[in-house]
Amino acid sequence: MTQALALHAVSHCFDDAEALQDVSLQVAPGECVALLGPSGAGKSTLLALLDGRVRGWRGRAEVLGNRLPNDRAPERKTRLETGFIFQEFALVDRQSVYQNAMNGRLGRMRLWPSLWGRYGAQDHLKTTIALEDTGLTELAQRRADQLSGGQRQRVAIARCLAQEPELILADEPVSNLDPAHAERILELITNTARNRGIAVVFSSHQPELSRRFADRIVGLRAGAVLFDKPSAMVGNDDISDLYHGTVPGDGLRVVS
What's residue 116's pLDDT?
A: 57
| Pairing outcome for strands 58-63 and 5-14 | antiparallel
Closest CA to 156 of 112, 191, 189, 115: 189
Sheet strand arrangement including 17-27: 17-27, 5-14, 58-63, 66-67
Pairing of strands 199-204, 32-36: parallel
Amino acid, single-letter form, for residue 41: A
With cut-offs at 50, 70 and 90, classify the pLDDT of residue 75. confident
User: What's the pLDDT score for residue 114?
Assistant: 56
Residue 158 host element (H or E): helix 149-162
Which residues, 6+ apart, have CB-to-CB distance to 65 below 8 Å? 2, 3
Task: Give the model's confidence band at 17: pLDDT under 50 very low, under 70 low, under 90 confident, else very high.
Answer: confident
Residue 240 has pLDDT above 80, yes or no: yes
- Alpha helix (H) residue ranges in 20-148: 43-50, 76-79, 97-102, 111-116, 121-133
| Confidence label for 16 from pLDDT (cuts 50, 70 and 90) | confident
- What sign for the dihedral angle of Cα 214, 60, 222, 226? positive
Looking at domain 80-198, its CATH superfamily turns out to be P-loop containing nucleotide triphosphate hydrolases (3.40.50.300)
* pLDDT, position 79: 86
Strands 216-221 and 224-230: antiparallel
- Name the 3-class secondary structure at 227: strand
Q: DSSP code of 143?
A: B
CA 90 to centroid of chain Cα atoms:
14
Residue 121 CB neighbour total at 10 angstroms: 7
Q: What is the pLDDT of residues 38-74, one digit of tens each?
A: 999 999 999 999 999 999 999 999 999 999 999 999 9
**110 band by pLDDT with thresholds 50, 70 and 90:** low
Contact 79, 165 (CB under 8 A): no
Position 242 pLDDT exceeds 60: yes
Q: How confident is the model at residue 250 (pLDDT cuts 50, 70, 90)?
A: very low
Q: Start-end ranges of CATH 3.40.50.300 in the chain?
A: 1-73+214-244, 80-198
Q: What is the pLDDT of residue 117?
A: 63
Multiple choice CATH, 1-73+214-244, 3.40.50.300, 3.90.1140.10, 3.40.50.620, 2.40.33.10: 3.40.50.300
Within 10 A of 216 (CB to CB), how many other CB atoms are there?
Answer: 21
Q: Is the pLDDT of residue 199 over 80?
A: yes
The Cα–Cα gap between 190 and 195 comes to: 9
